[in-house]
Amino acid sequence: MTVEKAEENGRTERQKRRPASGIVELLEKRRKVKGWSWDDLANESGVSRSSLAKIRHSTTAVPSLVTLEKLANALSMPLRELIEACGYVLDDAVVTPQSKAAMLVQTVPSLAMIVDHLSELTADDREALRTMIEGFTLLRRREREEKMAEEQQRRKK
């Protein structure tokens, strides 16, 4: 079952406009377990502070799948748990890498274009691209960690 189908089955129109309080509670719990502030969660996940504030104060629509995935990765938790905390009913659906990719392509239009171009690459080119993406991701993660460490040092002073 796709997230769209779960949305049709599991949420009313009013619920679609605001996140369920369950996500706020879950983020609060997971962030405290890690010993993080909301700023730390923003830095670790790559989700802006203003987006997190909108989620916390229920002033935004349900977070996008991309945002939920960033939060799940930062908090080392299953994406499905965050999706369900938003109030979606997934029944017995399993969030697999393939279904997650399909959901991402649906929610981020630019990914559809990228996926179309991937089919034109050779296997070696795709492998080189994967290596570059992993390197970029590692670099950005290190930069966030360094920035967070600098902020913590600044707070201690």
On whether the 3-108 domain is CATH 1.10.260.40, my answer is: yes
Q: What is the pTM of this model?
A: 0.51
CB distance 129 to 117 below 8 Å: no
Look at residue 127 and tell me whether its pLDDT is greater than 60. yes
| Nearest of 19, 5, 11 to residue 68 by alpha carbon | 19
In the chain, where the domains are located? 3-108, 121-157
- The end-to-end CA distance of the chain, in Å, is 51
120-127 average pLDDT score: 86
- Position 16 confidence tier, pLDDT thresholds 50, 70, 90: very low
For 91-112, write each residue's pLDDT tens digit: 655 666 666 666 666 666 676 7
Q: What ranges in 35-96 are assigned the alpha helix state H?
A: 38-45, 49-56, 65-74, 79-85
